[in-house]
Amino acid sequence: MSSRPLPVSVPVVRLPLLALVAALVLAGCSGDVPEASQAAAASSAMAVTTAPVEMRDLARTVLVSGAVAPVEEMQLGVEVSGLRVTELLVDVGQSVRRGQVLLRLDRRMLDSELRQAEAALREAEAGAALARANLARGENLARERYISAGQLDELRAVRTQAEARVGTARAGRDAAALRHSFAELRAPADGIVSKRLVQPGQVVGAGGELLRLIRDGRLEWRAELPVTQLSSVKPGDRIALRGPGGVVVEGRVRAVSPGVDAATRTGTVYADLPDPKGLAAGAYLEGRIDTGRARVATVPAAAVVLRDGFATLYTIATKEGATVAEARRVRTGAREGAHVELLDGPKPGQQVVVKGAGFLADGDAVRVVPATQAAPAAGVAR
């Protein structure tokens, strides 16, 4: 009986095969990871639209605050002293006409002075008439040689002295009449009473201010500008003021001061207000002065957003293969319609974010789409 060797069982090694299969599977999938990551990043990027910085003809304006004041304010008083006010015929805010009586003083003393002056004039005229009559008779007697030539000369001298006294008396009467007229204060021009500094019964002095009158009711707007802005304003430029209740009052620059104040380095702009629309003298209002048009760099107004209190634009950049938004602080100027002047920042032709700018932060991933497809990604505005 032959002996055969027993069969030896050989174990099957399966672990390396599984590891090889797993390695092959992982190796096959590893090529899709970057593409998947990029697709996920692209889907999460915010869709925005852009527009270029453009050169446009834009209205040039100067914004400044100033006071409303009378074009000419007249300080009125009387020319006599020591008289009492008996009638005050106007009050603040009342319109008056040229020659209208504004107040009256107690004129009894002036009446007496005028009567004395008139009596003195009549006395002088009577003396002059007598002197002329005596001279006429003397001339007749001199022709008949009843009086001497020396006596005739004396009569002529008396006549001349009498006529001189008439002139003096007439001047005194005119002065008394003028002083008598000072008992009434009359308006020197049409206007509006802006201030009253006297009361009935008050004893007034010559030259003291009693009333104040805005001549013709004309008001103007006065603004102080630094020399850099003053040079751009000229007579005839249009202004617009925003009054109480949002009422817009328009006017024109009448004059620009030729120099600047040595202390403040500012000059004054004077603008007429043909229709003040209820503005009061002394009101302090912001105004816009239109100084013409100029070709300047502009961006859409929607592209400018506030970040930390500063005007900011977002430009497009590529970093590590991704499209991102870069924040840039800028200075803006005049605004006209949907466009804002850009004083500094991106150059003409450079693209800035318009739609979606309010939702961006510096470095956010974005994808630029046509304007019709732009929609802000889910989230909150920063």
Q: What is the CATH number of the domain that holds 285?
A: 2.40.30.170
197, 217, 237: which is the final residue of a domain?
A: 217
Is residue 197 one of the residues assigned to a domain? yes
Domain boundary among 294, 315, 335: 294
Give the pLDDT band (50/70/90) at residue 85. very high
pTM above 0.85, yes or no: no
**320 and 365 inside one domain:** yes
Same-domain status, 165 and 202: no
> Any residues with CB less than 8 A from the CB of 330 and at least 6 apart, and which?
304, 311, 312, 313, 342, 343, 344, 345, 346
CATH (domain of 190): 2.40.50.100
Give the H/E segment covering residue 29. helix 15-30
Residues 121 and 142 grouped into a single domain = yes
Based on the fold, state whether residues 242 and 114 are members of the same structural domain. Answer: no
My answer on whether 100 and 132 are in the same domain is no
What was the pLDDT predicted at 19?
40
pLDDT in tens, 321-353: 888 999 999 998 878 888 898 888 899 999 999
Q: What is the 3-state secondary structure (H, E, C) of 279-330?
A: CCCCCEEEEEEEEEEEEEEEEEHHHCEEECCEEEEEEEEEECCEEEEEEEEC
User: In sequence order, what are the beta bridge partners of 19?
Assistant: none
In a domain, 247, yes or no: yes
Confidence check: pLDDT of 205 > 70: yes
Position 9 in a domain: no
Handedness of CA 186, 191, 193, 197 (dihedral sign): negative
Nearest by Cα to 348 from 298, 302, 308: 298
**How do residues 213-227 score in pLDDT, each as one tens digit?**
999 999 999 999 998
For residues 274 and 155, membership in a common domain is answered with: no
Whether 111 and 175 map to the same domain: the answer is yes
Confirm whether 11 is domain-assigned. Answer: no
Q: How confident is the model at residue 319 (pLDDT cuts 50, 70, 90)?
A: confident
Instruction: Looking at the structure, tell me whether residues 84 and 206 fall in a common domain.
Output: yes
Q: Which domain holds residue 239?
A: 63-72+218-294
Residue 25 has pLDDT above 50, yes or no: no
Same domain, 161 and 211: no
Does residue 232 belong to any structural domain of this protein? yes
Count of structural domains, the chain: 4
Residues 171 and 196 in one domain: no
Q: Are residues 99 and 210 in the same domain?
A: yes
